[in-house]
């Protein structure tokens, strides 16, 4: 646009200048021609007249004074010459101010041209004076077309003095001067200046001098000023548009695109949120990316969970086959031994071993069945109202053997509070306690296991506290997941990773909660609360 404006400006300047130049040339040409014409008409009047024809022969001085001299004064030219057909001067009258015109200065070959054309117009540059000559052949009155042979020749001469030059200057509104030659090296013209050279030729059409017209183009200067101002305004406008466009593009397009790229690269939802302040489209894209990243995260988490679950299931199956096979092997082995004759004491020992192993097996099978029931949502809770004391008494009796057994160094202590009544599934409540107490004993080599409760609003909150190996902080939540076993390498007697999952399943069914607090190497406390 700017380039177009510049081209247009130059083109307009050229056109404007051309118009001014042509106008000036035309008016100069017209004016010079009209000046010549005025004089030519007078000359013409005198040169087809019988009296002038006679004068060439008679040279009558009186006639010359009355006619020729008179026209010299009234038509304001500076010399008059009359020649006969032999080109001999018969009359000359010269203005006193220009005595140099006393002698006809032009070579005689001008007569040939004059003879041929009947009229001649020629400039002559003498010293520093420019003289205009008009020549005409002389004919009788009845030959205004000048077809007859000339009877003589008449010339008018006019000096182009300061007065005439000033007249030119005034008429053309220019500065005018006369120079002999156009300077070979012309001074460089200013854009809003106009100079034209008008040649002033002799009878052979050779330039004798030049009229120089100089004009300062004011309209052009105004145009030039205005167009420069217009272009500057346009440049500023374009620059402002470019700055605004690049600022807008950077702020509203480039930056959000960079954020989109970065958030996709870094999978960062926080980064995507930076798109919120942008336009509706970009904030929508931001929302889509956030959704996409969240779904991706969820899918990854679900995949991880599925893989973890798969791993746990495999570990569970491997562990379970071991857990089931070892009591079965014991049972089979000791049963084989019983077939043979044995002492009573050995029979008793083997039988109690077989019974113990069968109990283990039964427990495992029960766990599996319970777990399956919970998973299949088939477990039913049989509510009965029980008192805490008798319930604890029975539980205590189960573990009293433990306490008497000198091999098991960890003792189980029961703390009784208020002997309240609770509405629970007694069998399942016992199952929960056995699981928790067995675990506590399993992971406490030498210490105490404390079992107790307290009333918390409409709930009863039981606890089983041990002084065992504890559970790492990061595992506290996941131990309630099925198949989870944390302390695989710790000293322990088997386990299938179902105990706590079953406890949680039952407690959930009784509208309760289970949780644990623990410190590694200091012990754990399992709490569970159920509605009274």
Position 479 contacts ligand ADP (CB under 6 A): yes
Binder of ligand ADP out of 28, 260, 440, 530 (CB under 6 A): 440
Q: Which is nearer to ligand ADP, 420 or 478 (by Cβ)?
A: 478
Q: Which is nearer to ligand ADP, 500 or 514 (by Cβ)?
A: 500
Distance CA 148, CA 155 (A): 19
Q: Which segment (107-115, 380-388, 451-459, 493-501) binds ligand ADP by CB under 6 A?
A: 493-501
Position 360 contacts ligand ADP (CB under 6 A): no
Binding residues for ligand ADP, how many (CB under 6 A)? Answer: 21
Q: Which segment (33-41, 373-381, 399-407, 480-488) binds ligand ADP by CB under 6 A?
A: 480-488
* Shortest reach from residue 492's CB to ligand ADP, in Å: 7
Distance CA 391, CA 374 (A): 24
Phi first, then psi: give them for residue 134, nearest 5 degrees: -125, 125
Helix (H) or strand (E) run with residue 107 in it: none
Position 487 contacts ligand ADP (CB under 6 A): yes
Sign of the CA dihedral 205, 206, 210, 216? Answer: positive
Angle at 280 between CA 279 and CA 283, to 5 degrees: 85
Position 256 contacts ligand ADP (CB under 6 A): no
The site string for ligand ADP over 377-416 (x = CB under 6 A, - otherwise) reads ----------------------------------------
Distance CA 239, CA 146 (A): 75
Distance CA 181, CA 207 (A): 9
Q: Which is nearer to ligand ADP, 263 or 439 (by Cβ)?
A: 439
Query: Contact 441/429 with Cβ under 8 angstroms?
Result: no
Q: Which segment (45-53, 79-87, 210-218, 438-446) binds ligand ADP by CB under 6 A?
A: 438-446
Position 466 contacts ligand ADP (CB under 6 A): yes
Binder of ligand ADP out of 208, 467, 524, 529 (CB under 6 A): 524
Distance CA 347, CA 504 (A): 41
Position 485 contacts ligand ADP (CB under 6 A): yes
Q: Which is nearer to ligand ADP, 80 or 498 (by Cβ)?
A: 498
Q: Which is nearer to ligand ADP, 18 or 473 (by Cβ)?
A: 473
Torsion angle, CA of 254/260/263/266, rounded to 10 degrees?
A: -80
Position 505 contacts ligand ADP (CB under 6 A): no
* Shortest reach from residue 494's CB to ligand ADP, in Å: 7
Position 327 contacts ligand ADP (CB under 6 A): no
Helix spans in 269-383 (H): 269-273, 280-339, 344-375
Q: Which segment (57-65, 70-78, 240-248, 483-491) binds ligand ADP by CB under 6 A?
A: 483-491
Position 484 contacts ligand ADP (CB under 6 A): yes
266-304 burial, b for 16+ CB within 10 Å, e for fewer?
eeebebbbbbeebeeebbebbeebbeebeeeeeeeeeee
Binder of ligand ADP out of 443, 453, 463, 528 (CB under 6 A): 443
Helix spans in 173-279 (H): 218-249, 255-266, 269-273
431: left (phi over 0), alpha (psi -120 to 50) or beta: alpha
Length of the chain: 532
Binder of ligand ADP out of 447, 497, 505, 512 (CB under 6 A): 497
* Shortest reach from residue 466's CB to ligand ADP, in Å: 5
Binder of ligand ADP out of 468, 505, 510, 527 (CB under 6 A): 468
* Shortest reach from residue 460's CB to ligand ADP, in Å: 21
DSSP single-letter state for residue 421: E
Bridge partners (DSSP) listed for residue 195: 214
523-531 and 513-519 strand pairing? antiparallel
Position 469 contacts ligand ADP (CB under 6 A): yes
* Shortest reach from residue 322's CB to ligand ADP, in Å: 12
Q: Which is nearer to ligand ADP, 78 or 450 (by Cβ)?
A: 450
Position 439 contacts ligand ADP (CB under 6 A): yes
* Shortest reach from residue 511's CB to ligand ADP, in Å: 21
Binder of ligand ADP out of 286, 495, 505, 512 (CB under 6 A): 495
Q: How many CB atoms neighbour CB 63 within 10 A?
A: 15
* Shortest reach from residue 280's CB to ligand ADP, in Å: 52
459-466 and 513-519 strand pairing? unpaired
384-387 and 421-424 strand pairing? antiparallel
Distance CA 136, CA 115 (A): 8
Interaction site with ligand ADP (CB under 6 A): 435, 439-440, 443, 466, 468-469, 471, 479, 484-487, 495-501, 524
């Amino acid at each position: 646009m700017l380039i177009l404006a510049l081209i247009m400006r130059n083109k307009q300047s050229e056109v404007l200048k051309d118009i001014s130049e042509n106008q000036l040339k035309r008016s100069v040409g017209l004016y010079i021609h009209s000046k010549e014409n005025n004089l030519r008409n007078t000359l013409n009047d005198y040169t087809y007249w019988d009296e002038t024809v006679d004068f060439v022969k008679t040279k009558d001085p009186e006639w010359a004074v009355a006619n020729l001299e008179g026209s010299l004064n009234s038509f304001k030219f500076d010399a008059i010459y009359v020649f006969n057909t032999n080109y001999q001067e018969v009359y000359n009258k010269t203005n006193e101010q220009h005595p140099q015109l006393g002698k006809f200065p032009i070579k005689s070959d001008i007569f040939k041209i004059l003879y041929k054309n009947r009229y001649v117009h020629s400039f002559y540059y003498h010293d520093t004076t420019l003289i205009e000559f008009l020549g005409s052949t002389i004919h009788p009155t009845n030959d205004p077309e000048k077809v007859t042979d000339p009877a003589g020749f008449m010339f008018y001469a006019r000096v182009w003095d300061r007065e005439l030059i000033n007249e030119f200057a005034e008429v053309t509104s220019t500065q005018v001067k006369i120079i002999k030659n156009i300077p070979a090296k012309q001074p460089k013209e200013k854009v809003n200046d106009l100079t034209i050279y008008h040649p002033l030729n002799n009878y052979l059409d050779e330039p004798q001098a030049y009229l120089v017209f100089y004009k300062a183009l004011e309209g052009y200067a105004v145009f030039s000023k205005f167009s420069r101002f217009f272009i500057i305004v346009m440049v500023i406008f374009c620059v402002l548009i470019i700055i605004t466009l690049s600022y807008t593009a950077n702020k509203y397009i480039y930056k959000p695109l960079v954020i989109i790229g970065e958030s996709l690269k870094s999978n960062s939802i926080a980064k995507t949120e930076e798109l919120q302040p942008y336009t509706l489209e970009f904030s929508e894209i931001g929302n889509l990316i956030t959704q996409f990243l969240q779904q991706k995260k969820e899918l990854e988490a679900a995949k991880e969970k599925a893989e973890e679950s798969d791993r746990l299931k495999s570990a569970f199956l491997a562990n379970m086959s071991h857990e089931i096979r070892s009591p079965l092997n014991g049972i089979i082995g000791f049963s084989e031994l019983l077939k043979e004759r044995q002492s009573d004491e050995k029979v008793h020992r083997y039988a109690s071993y077989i019974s113990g192993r069968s109990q283990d097996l039964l427990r495992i099978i029960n766990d599996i069945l319970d777990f399956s029931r919970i998973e299949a949502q088939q477990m039913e809770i049989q509510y009965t109202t029980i008192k805490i004391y008798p319930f604890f008494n029975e539980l205590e009796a189960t573990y009293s053997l433990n306490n008497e057994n000198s091999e098991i160094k960890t003792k189980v202590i029961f703390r009784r509070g208020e002997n309240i009544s609770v509405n629970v599934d007694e069998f399942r409540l016992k199952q929960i306690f056995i699981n928790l107490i067995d675990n506590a004993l399993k992971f406490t080599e030498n210490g105490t296991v404390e079992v107790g409760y307290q009333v918390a609003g409409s709930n009863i909150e039981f606890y089983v506290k041990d002084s065992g190996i504890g559970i790492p902080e990061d595992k506290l939540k996941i131990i309630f997941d099925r198949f989870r076993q944390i302390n695989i390498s710790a000293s322990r007697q088997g386990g299938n990773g179902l105990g706590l999952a079953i406890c949680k399943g039952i407690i959930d069914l009784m509208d309760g909660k289970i949780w644990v607090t623990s410190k590694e190497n200091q012990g754990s406390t399992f709490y569970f609360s159920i509605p009274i």
